[in-house]
Amino acid sequence: MDVYLSERIGKLSRSKIYNLIRRGNILVNGLTSKPGYNIKQNDVIKVVLPEPPPSEIIGEKIPLTILYEDKYYIAVNKPAGMVVHPGAGHFFGTLVSALVNYTSELSSLGGKVRPGLVHRLDKDTSGIVVAAKTDEAHWKLSKLFADRKVFKKYHAFVWGYPEPESALIDAPIGRSSKNRKKFIVSDSGRKARTCYQTISNFGIMSSIKLILETGRTHQARVHLNFIGHPVVGDLMYGGGLRHLRCLSKKEIDLGELVLSKVERQMLHAFGIRFCHPFTGENIEIEAPLPADFIDVESTLRSGC
């Protein structure tokens, strides 16, 4: 089907057609299909082209929780469910749109669709995102990230009880060859280091804190899955219902109750620390726990 369509839609290459099929944008007789599907006579093929991304960010009046601000940087508490910058299928309602509406002082080094952004968080991870107001502030903080002089702290709920209670996970991370949206621990990957410490043991789940020494995509989620304790609610990295197998009736009921309250991976970037590149001051920013974290912990404590 990808060959057939690429020959008939001049504006789209075969690779773009392939990606549209995989995303479900191309239907055969009203159903999703595969790029290798063999076209049959009388098949009805519907091609839905996604909206092109905007050439520049349009500011939107979206509430922001400002945690820190000076003439160089602004740190905000991103809620779960908010995309940081525009991408495929997410052009509006982004954190960048809110920042552009809030201030005209954002660095240009991230390009037209990522003004100010020095780093990012996954859509369903909540917590601190820092943006730069000038180009100089941007590259100086970016260098601190590259030199591993920015310390990012996370709070997570994971399945099971990690042993030992605290440890360093030193395992390289690379992109999965089977699913390009996923990352895996791989000898050919880039160096990745995550320190964790268990805070509370609730039996079927634990509350932990993490410090990320490196900043690989999905790093905390990949590393925790690698040691057998994936983030609760993280369906991409093994944090779903399968962990309820072989548990007692009471534990299964508690696990199902917790998962009924969870709508995302339970990962929150609650802290960031770095030496201010201009003032030399030690900057430490913290974000309070979101409501769903408080609710899950209360549920686990009452069920123990």
Judge contact between 25 and 49, C-beta under 8 A.
yes
Least confident of 21-25, 134-138, 269-273: 21-25
The topology under which CATH files domain 2-47 is 3.10.290
CATH 3.10.290 domain locations along the chain = 2-47
Residue 8: exposure state from Cβ atoms within 10 A (0-12, 13-18, ≥19): exposed
Residue 88 is predicted with a pLDDT of: 59
Active-site residue, from 122, 124, 234, 292: 122
Instruction: Classify 242 as helix, strand or coil.
Output: helix
CATH code, residues 148-304: 3.30.2350.10
Residue 169 is predicted with a pLDDT of: 97
Which pTM value belongs to this model? Answer: 0.80
Q: What span, in angstroms and rounded, lies between the C-alpha atoms of 219 and 116?
A: 23
Helix, strand and coil percent figures for the chain, each rounded to 5:
25, 25, 50
Specify the residue for token string 């968080």: 121
CATH 3.30.2350.10 is right for the domain spanning 52-145? yes
Buried b (16+ CB within 10 A) or exposed e, 95-104: bbbbbbebee
135 given a catalytic annotation: no
Residues pairing with 195 in the sheet: 168, 211
Confidence of residue 87 (pLDDT cuts 50, 70, 90): low
CATH 3.30.2350.10 domain locations along the chain = 52-145, 148-304
